[in-house]
Structure 1
């Protein structure tokens, strides 16, 4: 995404002018827009005109509108963003107060104005306009008869195609039907890879499967590439990275992102940092639960004590319709950063974000243990004797 202009006042009101350049930019914009914001963009609108003879014609013309946003719809698969609201600026074709739906277009500039720009929104703009922060990864998880082709970025895991092919079982004395079914399956996966993966952008293509399915498929794909003189696949052979997964379902990506090979290849990407943070959180929860909190109330009190080392929140919390709900999570992030905590905002469309969402959407790894005290809500201690067992005079539960 390209940032053309930005004007933020001392009271945090102001506007930004942006140009979406990639489908993922629409996801960023979706997270920036809130009800009550003002959006100025050009759009195509049908305008009726009546001739002197009384005949009515409708012409489609491009007009520039400024609307007060009331509703936003984002189609993940198509990367389409539609914003509905009332026109608030004089226009010869659209009256003030009339409703209109704006479809944001790729490479078309727009201006977004807010009464208050919070640090989460400003950081998102900074990250989205920094090309060095993009993670260009594709993944194919598969087992016999099932394959899922995904595109992974630092903010999203998008399923581009799911392939299911019935493969006959091996029969004693004859495996021809089984082999034909398997070849048909591999052929469909090959075509899907060529259709959905842009090798000019993608740096790594992860092949994950149980057993030897990934190796057999890779050998088949390369043999077909040589046979058909497919230069794209042959030239990008080194980009394929084969790893073990327990299944071919999308959920297996969680295992894939934990693989040491993957972490080494994607060491600088945001998604790998998130997966590592979740791994560290679960390990802490198992080994030292007084240093692993989740749920807003628990994490808030940890922040009040300056105990947070790593704060993890999903971006879905910042899209809440209720302003007070958004504000309390923004304050939590600001307060945590003030104590030098590492703050990670997880995308709800990424596998790690989906995992965090199951833990209420907010979790923290603490620098030191905090235990609940019946008189003072929290106290820090390294003495096991001072810790209460869960359920004894507690205001809230720590899991």
Structure 2
């Protein structure tokens, strides 16, 4: 559905089955309303993606003859997983075609789950090849040591562990998920993991016992969701997830940050700087956020497609980041486009300096 959201644009035509409320008048003049199933073709005017329900709502005007819906009448089509649709575009550019190819390749759907936690707080997340989805937030007050009755503290900790374990069983499909990251500061993750295994043995929970090798314990600075970024940077996690798209993006962003620190003339961000580097055939890796391709400004979209095509034509590697991934969020904060260069181009900064002095 995330790929569909990135494919459907304003001005496209979408054909799909839908339900429409129809008013029918009888011979006596009384009217009755009923819901009918029909196939409609609309010209897209707005697209809204509900990530929690995994539903795409596409609004537009009817552009094909239909016995229930007048030409030009507004209608909203709900697209869901496994529901067929046909999409018509005036032009399928290289970024759109890549998106279709990626969506149709099952090898690119390697999935990962993460539980980021600290004492009393935990987030259960699913990390797909396209996005990071929050599945549960557990927040239970645990009194600090020495400030309360020790028995009450222990009871609250057990209640916290039981709730986290129940969320893992409920939200993580171990048939799909390759690994589950348990991340926390200190020993919280280890104490929880030991408790979970002990409980699984006592309650004969085969699901946890059979999948215990999928759990990967990693240090994080806090139990908040934003700590996922540093967790995905961890070398042990990267090695375990070497074949997932998320790891490739995280690694590319890591390399860019290192280059910014060590050799800034080989790392640039911002569309103007990156375009100049592309003109000089200098880009080794282009990092670009998919949010830029959802721009309603057609010329702006074409500009980024041209950049992607130019880098590929010159033998560069293009990584399109999902704006719903932690790495994509970080890239969006840096204008959404960045590049690692094959060789230094200090003249890019110098040209900017010359322009600034001219303006002064």
Smaller-chain TM-score range?
over 0.9
* Equivalent in the alignment of 1:306: 281
Cα distance, 1:217 vs. partner?
0.5
Matched, 1:27 2:2: yes
Structure 1 residue 173 displacement after superposition: 9.0
The CA distance in 2 between the partners of 1:48 and 1:250, in whole Å, is: 49
Partner Cα separation in structure 1 for residue 92 and residue 352 of structure 2: 41
> Counterpart of 1:283?
258
> Which residue does the alignment assign to 2:234?
259
Instruction: Give 1:81-120 correspondences, 5 Å limit.
Output: 81-120=56-95
- Counterparts of residues 377-396 of structure 1 (less than 5 Å): 378=348, 392-395=353-356
Give me the whole-angstrom Cα distance separating, in 1, the residues matched to 2:352 and 2:303: 27
Deviation at 1:391, TM superposition (A): 7.8
Q: Which whole-Å CA distance do the structure 1 matches of 2:306 and 2:236 have between them?
A: 37
Report the CA distance between 1:335 and its aligned residue.
0.6
TM-score, length-normalised on structure 1?
Answer: 0.87
Q: 1:149 maps to which residue?
A: 124
Q: Does 1:163 align with 2:138?
A: yes
Instruction: Note closer, same or farther for the CA distance 1:69–1:173 as it changes in structure 2 (3 Å cut).
Output: closer
Give the distance between the partners of 1:249 and 1:200, measured in 2 at CA.
Answer: 27
Give the aligned partner of residue 233 of structure 1.
Answer: 208
Q: Cα deviation per residue 1:25-47 (whole Å; 9 max; x = unaligned)?
A: x1110100110000000001111
What residue number does 1:181 align with?
A: 156
- Post-superposition CA distance 1:196-244 (Å, at most 9, x none): 1011111100000010000100111111111211111111111111111
Distance 2:352 2:269 in 1: 17
Report the RMSD for the aligned CA atoms in angstroms: 1.6
Report the alpha carbon displacement of residue 128 of structure 1 after superposing the two structures with TM: 0.7
SS of the aligned residue for 1:140 comes to strand
1:129 is aligned to 2:129: no
Is 1:371 aligned to 2:346, yes or no? yes
Report how far residue 251 of structure 1 moved: 1.1
Q: Does 1:205 align with 2:166?
A: no
- Match of 2:333? 358
Gapped runs of 5+ residues in structure 1?
Answer: 1-25, 373-377, 379-386
Q: Distance in 2 between matches of 1:172 and 1:154?
A: 44
Q: Which residue of 1 aligns with 2:40?
A: 65
Could you tell me how far apart the structure 1 residues matched to 2:149 and 2:325 are?
Answer: 44
Matched, 1:223 2:198: yes
Q: 1:352 & 1:288 partners in 2: Cα distance?
A: 21
* Equivalent of 1:338 in 309, 313, 325: 313
Number of aligned residues: 357
Partner of 1:249: 224
Following TM superposition, the consecutive aligned residue runs of length 4 or more in structure 1 with deviations greater than 6 angstroms are none
Give 1 or 2: higher helix fraction: 2
- Structure 1 residue 109 displacement after superposition: 1.1
For the residues of structure 1 that align with 2:258 and 2:322, how far apart are their CA atoms?
A: 22
